[in-house]
Structure 1
C-alpha cells in the first residue's frame, strides 16, 4: 500500500472497531513490521487527542497547534516524518469536520466528502439542501452566483430552492441535470448514472440528447457510461430515496413487498408476514417514523 492507502486503512479500522474482518487485517498488518506498529500507535494517539477538539468552526493551524500540544514531545519529534504529518492532519480534519472539506485552487470550487459509514447533509449558499450517502464526494462553487454542483462519486438527494432567475445545474459523470427548483436524486454507478425526480421537473442532458423528467410515474432515467444513451425504465421508485427523506409511501402494494422495503430501510434481516397475508394489498405512509412504531403500524394495517 502507498502512504495514502495506509492512512485510509488505519482510519477505516479506527472508525469501525467492531468489524472483525477489518481488525483481523489490521492485526496482520501490524505483525509485518515494527515500523507499522509505530505508525499505528502514533495515528491512534492523534485520533484520541483530536476527539477532544471542538468540531466547528475549525481552523487547521489552530487545530494542529492544539493537537500538537496534547502529544508527548518525544513522540512528536522522533517519529513524525513529513508524510506522517499529512496523514495525521487527515485524521484531525476527519474528526474535526465530520467529513472532508477542501478548496480547489484556481476555479473557487469547494469539495466535500462524506465520512465513512455515515449519511450526511450540507446547506448550500442559496439554502438548497443536499443529503449524501456514505462515500459521496461532490463540489460546488464557492461564491455560488452560478448555482452549479459536481457530483464526483456516490449518491446525493437534492432539495433545491426555487430561483426563477438562476437555474441549478448538477453534473454527474457525462450527465447534466438542469432545474429551477425541485427535489431529485442522482446516483453514480460504475456503468451508469441514475436520476430520479420526486418533486417538480428537471431536464437531463447527455451526449447531445435531452429528456424531461417530472415527479410521478416515469420519474427515473439512466445514462449509460459506455454510449451516453439516456434510458427511461418503467417501475416504482417512490421509496428509493427514503434514506434521505425518511418518507415511505406504499399505494396498493403487496404486503411482502412492503415488508421487504421496511426491512431494508430499518436495516433488519427481515420483516415477517404470515403466508396468507403475503399478497394482501395495503396502502401505508410513514414519515420520520421510528422502527418499532413503523412495525406496529404495519401489523395493524395487515390485521384490518
Structure 2
C-alpha cells in the first residue's frame, strides 16, 4: 500500500483548489471536466483533497463543482467508499476547521487582551498617560501603567505607538521575547507567529532580544525571526504604519507576502492555489479597505494571476 507524504497531501490540496477555480469559471467545458476526472482518478490523495474541500464548502451552501454530464465517462474510484457516519464526521471536522479559521483568532484575542480588534477592524486606544496605540486587524495588547513604569504587551498582530515622553517612567513594549524601549515618539511593532519586527517612524527605540541590544533610529527596522536570526534594513518613514491610512506598499515582494498582509483585513480565508503563484514577485500599492479588490488589482497588473471569490468567506488566488 502506497504511503502519501505530507508534501503529496499539500500538493494535492493546492491542485484541488486550482481545479475548483477552473470548474467554477468554465462549468460547461467538457474538456476541463474530463481532465478533472482524470486528475481525481490519478491518485488517492487527489480524491481525498477534493472530498475535503467539497465537504467543507458544500456544507456552508457553496456547491463547488458540477457533476460530470451523464454521457461522460465516470472516473474509477481508487479507494473504498466511506460509510455515511465517517463521511459526516469528516465533513463536520472540515467545517469546524473552516469556522475556526474564520472566528477563533479574533474571539481568543478578545478573551486574552485588554484591547483587541477583529478581522477588518481598526482601533485607536488612548492610554491614561496620554500615549496612543493604533491596532491593526486581529491585534491585541495588554496594558500596565504603574508608578515608575509603563508596559504594553503585544499579544498578536500589529500596533503603532505614539508615546508621550516621561523620563521618569520608561515606555516599553514586549512581543514574545523582544522588548522595545521608547527613546523617541513613534514606532510600530508587529508579531507574526513566531517572528517579531520593530520599525521606527520618529525618534529612537532600543530593541532588546536576549544578549542583543540595538538602538533604531527613524527609518530603520529590525526583525527577530523564528530561528533567532536577525534581519534589519531601511524603510521610507512614510511607509511605516502606512496600514493606518488603509494602504500597504510591496517592493518586489512574493505574492505570499502581499496575501499575508491582506488576510487580517478579510473576514474569511484567502488561499494561494500553488507554490509557484505564492513565489511570484510583485510591486504595487494595495488598498486594505477592500482586500478582494486589491487582489484583483494585483491580478490585472500582472496578467496571469486569477482571483476567484468562491463565497463571501473564501478567495482563491491562482494562475490564470
TM-score, with structure 2 as normaliser: 0.45
Q: TM-score, with normalisation over the residues of structure 1?
A: 0.47
